[in-house]
Amino acid sequence: MNKLNRRDFGVAVVAALLLPATSARADDMEIHIDNFVFQPPELKIKVGTTVTWTNRDDIPHTVVSAGKFRSKTLDTDDKFSFTFTNAGDYKYFCSLHPHMTGMIKVE
């Protein structure tokens, strides 16, 4: 290794040690599907937030907001994520069990 490459390598090592590791953004949110309920049933979030739904029931569910997003059928432990890029109210439901509803309010 020549001098320049050693210096660059050293700078990269120091930067890796000093910069925080981030695997998920602080404003990302989770909703769990459990016992035929979305929990929490309502979220207030900021534009740019990603919400991830996880099915914890032992039967399939979906997450659908008419004209906005639609998950595939989620089996146990499957996940669906959506990033909200526009402000507004997003009502959603499970198309397999329409009595299951939730709301995302995006500011």
Domains observed in the chain = 24-106 (2.60.40.420)
Give the integer Cα–Cα distance in Å for 100 and 37: 6
- What is the rounded CA–CA span in Å between residue 81 and residue 100? 18
Q: What is the pTM of this model?
A: 0.76
pLDDT band at 99 (very low <50, low <70, confident <90, very high): very high
Arithmetic mean of pLDDT, 5-14: 53
Q: Is residue 20 reached through a cis peptide bond, with omega within 30 degrees of 0 on the bond before it?
A: no
Confidence of residue 7 (pLDDT cuts 50, 70, 90): low
Distance of CA 68 to the CA centre of its chain: 15
> Residue 15 pLDDT more than 80?
no
Candidate from 4-8, 19-23, 71-75 with smallest mean pLDDT:
19-23
Residues 31 and 44: their CA atoms lie apart, in Å, by 12
Residue type, 18: L
